[in-house]
Amino acid sequence: MSTTDLTSHLPAVVAAYIAAVNDFDTDALMATFSSDALVNDAHREFRGLASIRAWAEREIAGDKVTMDVTEVFAHHGQTIVRARYDGEYDKTNLPDELILTSYITVQEGRITTLIIVRNTPALY
């Protein structure tokens, strides 16, 4: 299934977020967040639009990050998106294929929480 097929099953605001990331469009990305949104990326917390914009300008658009969606599912009101990430960021000590999981909560048509995690396979 292609990224387009997978993203067509997402809430509109989540699909818009992914499109904005892939277009390096900070304004469009910011339009997907609620005014009191929280982002946690690489164990760092960004609260509110000013903090999220600084993160997005530097680490998303600035590093030309792209997301190639590999899996999408809903879980108790959350949208969970797995994607291959690429870009011009420092890839030291990262795997050749970087898969990150985004846990996204949407309320009233806007992203209220975005948590981006590099998971490791369970040993069980």
Domain boundaries in the chain? Answer: 3-117
What is the predicted pLDDT for the residue at 120? 81
CATH, range 3-117: 3.10.450.50
CA torsion through residues 55, 61, 63, 65, sign: positive
Contact (Cβ atoms closer than 8 angstroms) between residue 71 and residue 7: no
Q: Is pLDDT at 78 greater than 60 in this prediction?
A: yes
Q: Is pLDDT at 6 greater than 70 in this prediction?
A: no
The CA radius of gyration of the chain, in Å to the nearest whole number, is: 14
Report pTM: 0.91
CA distances from 44 to 5, 16, 108 (A): 31, 23, 25
Per-residue pLDDT averaged across 61-90, rounded? 96
The residues near 16 (Cβ < 8 Å, ≥ 6 apart) are: 28, 31, 32
Closest by alpha carbon to 84, among 111, 33, 118?
118
Query: What percent of the chain is predicted at pLDDT more than 90?
Result: 87
What is the predicted pLDDT for the residue at 121? 74
Beta bridge pairs of residue 91: none
Q: Is pLDDT at 37 greater than 80 in this prediction?
A: yes
